[in-house]
Structure 1
């Protein structure tokens, strides 16, 4: 089980719970500052797991999926599943939102594409784990609201790889909002926080995000 940091509303009064995944070289503290502290959604309880050694796996974005990477990825996804289970146990019956940045965003899509469950998700600057030629799994995500963002100046996640991940979400049946921010480097910008905040508020309120019907 990964070390878990919690923040936000008391689980007893929360109307939604979020599992928040940090990127490579980061910690839950980074996500508390860069994401959680900037959200205004009331009654949101957050669970933030910590990767061993501040990295979920060693491979860089879009490298071919090797046996070693697959082994590390499965171990990382087991930790994500453990955090998901802890979040659901703490906030039983409440909707769950999966949020990740950078390497954490890559885990969001791989978790969902390999059978992980959520009521909504946000992939902030991520892509599939593997090369374009790899045969990667794709689950059925019918109707799942997913917010996906990237910056066209991001040095770590190529725009084409981000767009391929978005296409995989769409093919899997998810309801996707996708934003590519001009000039945005490897960070989480104010427009992304505003859209994420709106997504969390809609899920907590039991209403449809993105302004459309479920």
Structure 2
């Protein structure tokens, strides 16, 4: 089993000039460089981008639907790494309500798990094909109030890794914690990120605050 070292790739607006931050988490077998390529498609104006790199290119060894203990200690190490990164971002002067998360597949599951365990008002949470982690959900792990944080969760129907049933379970948990969830289920879609998903998150999560600020 393995732990994660703190290897963060950055891009976008320099931290001293940024008005927001985006944490990008890659999927199993992916890399920080892979997920950073999403900046060509996502509306990340004014954001410093932070992309951690998982040891062995995987945040945890088994399926996110396996018993949590089977994915230890890698899972706890990954959650700790994200927590340290969020602390570092706040130390640069970016408040949590201006921190966004965007991730795919295994990274999306990790993102949902971290934010549900540490719920507060974030800028937005984007889980391209993801759900909360565990063979069954231990809701006692989830604490806090999202304060109407906008969340996007998607999957295919069927998806080889993320079943619709777990997406729906996850939505119910997040909504009980006062998240404002938009979700999309795509019949027959492959395990990928579609142009329609990109359009939705740019419209409903990422571009929304910028447009409001501009109107003011």
Calculate the aligned-residue CA RMSD, in Å.
Answer: 2.0
In 2 relative to 1, CA 177–154 (structure 1 residues): closer, same or farther, beyond 3 Å?
Answer: same
CA change 1:116–1:135 in 2 (3 A) is: closer
CA apart distance, 1:143? 1.5
Shift in alpha-carbon separation, 1:96–1:205, aligned structure 2, 3 A: farther
Judged with a 3 Å threshold, the aligned counterparts in structure 2 of structure 1 residues 116 and 57 are, in CA distance, closer, same or farther, namely farther
Shift, 1:173, TM fit: 1.5
* 1:123/1:61 CA distance change after superposition, 3 Å: same
Answering whether residue 90 of structure 2 is matched by residue 88 of structure 1, we say: yes
Deviations 1:5-51 (A, max 9, x none): 11112223322110111111110111122x22212442222110111
Q: Normalised by the size of structure 1, how large is the TM-score?
A: 0.86
Aligned partners of 1:205, 1:16: CA distance in 2, in Å? 14
**What's the CA shift string for 1:64-117, capped at 9, x where partnerless?**
222x42432111101111222233334534710011211111111111122255
Q: Cα–Cα, structure 1 residues 41 and 72, in superposed 2: closer, same or farther, change >3 Å? A: closer
Residues 22-171 of structure 1 mapped to structure 2, 5 A cutoff: 22-33=26-37, 35-66=38-69, 68-93=70-95, 95-115=98-118, 117=120, 118-132=122-136, 134-136=137-139, 137-140=141-144, 141-171=146-176
Larger RCO, structures 1/2 (Cα 8 Å, 6+ apart): 1
Alpha-carbon shift at residue 163 of structure 1 (Å) = 1.4
Q: TM-score, normalised by structure 2?
A: 0.85
Structure 1: 5+ residue runs without aligned partners?
208-214
Kindly indicate whether the alpha-carbon contact (under 8 Å) linking 1:23 and 1:105 is maintained by their aligned counterparts in 2: yes
